Structure 1
Amino acid sequence: MGKLLRRTVDGDELLVEWTPSDQASVEAAQAEYRHWRGQDYEAVQSDGVYYEPIVGDRLPLNAEEVILTTAMGGG
């Protein structure tokens, strides 16, 4: 099962989960992913240890986690 997360200053927020064999969950996850990417969020695929940037508007269905993030102020 994959998880789509949104990184916030308070931690990661679970947006949606999907199972590749469940078409309805895949469609919901794809729509949610495209929604946030359309708001200039960047995406990385993670296995819990390594992070790999995702290019494009297609959710990698084999990912354990996809994390959406945007620039957060600091300094």
Structure 2
Amino acid sequence: VHDDPAAATINTWTEWIIPLQAFADQGVDMANVDSVAIGLGTRGNMTTPDGSGKMYFDDVRLYRTRNLP
């Protein structure tokens, strides 16, 4: 969930970094993750259509935490 409820209306390219620890902190066992989904809409109400336009997603990647020297 993005901190800005209007994040889908930003009309310029925006980097959004989501620390995987945020999922682990919610009880997700990252060792069992085998897929990732990206969704738009009202949380808990995905059946109500709203809005129009295009969304572009690129460079979706998962990284392990690195310890820098």
Q: Whose helix proportion is higher, 1 or 2?
A: 1
Please give the TM-score of this superposition, normalised by the length of structure 1: 0.23
Larger radius of gyration: 2
Please give the TM-score of this superposition, normalised by the length of structure 2: 0.24
